[in-house]
């Protein structure tokens, strides 16, 4: 447990479809119910975990907005039970994270959101699009399949897409085009000079995430 003065960080464990996952729950000292966001990390087979640089900056940005966050390790990562399931079982991990937030004291269960980075977007997006309790979705370096992009065309929740101009895995032009076809409210932000890993550009992500969730939860 860590106390930063304005927030309280707690190491937690929670169930998700037959496994128990580890996470870090950061709760603002607000005195009133606050919104909350579960944050999904990049690909675990390539070193992704809940301590990733992009995941960390998202959580820091939301803490400044008095939004609670739960970052967690997918199944098979760190001390989370189970094994990698190619993004399928990991969707149950996201649902388990939402269950945890929904049952946490001090969280406004009517204002829950999801954020994901890279592989985390591939897992978060289908859950958000199929769960009425998710009120906002932010995707950094979105790795979505055609079916999820198609569903974006009719989705009603606020969505934010962030990509780097120098991303060698995801075309900024494709993301801009597909995000432009998504039903409003949705917007896309391209960060000039950033690649897929965002080293040195994390500070560019923070204000976009802060403003997006502030506006989404206010609505």
Q: Where are the domains of the chain?
A: 2-218
Taking the C-alpha atoms of residue 176 and residue 172, their distance in angstroms, rounded to an integer, is 6
Q: What is the β-pairing status of strands 134-140 and 107-117?
A: parallel
Instruction: State residue 30's pLDDT score.
Output: 85
Topology adopted by domain 2-218 = Rossmann fold (3.40.50)
Question: Tell me, what's the pLDDT at 3?
Answer: 64
Reported as a single tens digit per residue, the pLDDT across 162-195 is: 999 999 999 999 999 999 999 999 999 999 999 9
Provide the mean pLDDT of the chain: 96
CA 23 to chain CA centroid, nearest Å: 13
Distance (Å, rounded) from C-alpha 28 to C-alpha 171? 36
CB 40 within 8 A of CB 116: yes
- Tell me the pLDDT tens digit for each residue of 2-13: 666 789 999 999
Residue 10, SS3 per DSSP: strand
Provide the percentage of residues in the chain whose pLDDT is more than 70.
Answer: 98
Give 71-125 as a DSSP string: EEPPTTSTT--S---TTTHHHHHHHHHHHHHHTSTTEEEEEEEEEEETHHHHHHH
pLDDT band at 1 (very low <50, low <70, confident <90, very high): low
């Amino acid at each position: 447990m860590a106390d930063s003065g304005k927030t309280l960080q707690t190491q937690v464990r929670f169930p998700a479809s037959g496994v128990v996952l580890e996470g870090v729950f950061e709760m603002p000292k607000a005195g009133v119910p606050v919104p909350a966001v579960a944050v999904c990390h990049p690909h675990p087979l390539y070193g992704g975990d809940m301590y990733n640089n992009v995941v960390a900056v998202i959580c820091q940005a939301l803490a400044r907005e008095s939004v609670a966050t739960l970052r967690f390790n997918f199944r098979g990562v760190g001390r989370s039970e189970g094994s990698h399931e190619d993004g399928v079982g990991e969707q149950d991990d996201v649902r388990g994270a939402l269950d945890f937030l929904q049952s946490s004291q001090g969280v406004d269960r009517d204002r829950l959101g999801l954020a994901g980075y890279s592989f985390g977007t591939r897992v978060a997006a289908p859950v958000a699009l199929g769960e009425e309790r998710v009120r906002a979705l932010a995707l950094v370096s979105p790795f979505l399949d055609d079916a999820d992009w198609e569903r974006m065309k009719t989705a009603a929740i606020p969505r934010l897409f962030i990509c780097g101009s120098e991303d060698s895995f995801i075309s900024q032009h494709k993301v801009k085009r597909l995000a432009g076809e998504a039903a409003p409210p949705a917007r896309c932000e391209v960060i000039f000079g950033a690649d897929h890993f965002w080293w040195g550009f994390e500070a560019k992500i923070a204000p976009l995430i802060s403003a997006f969730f502030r506006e989404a939860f206010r609505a």
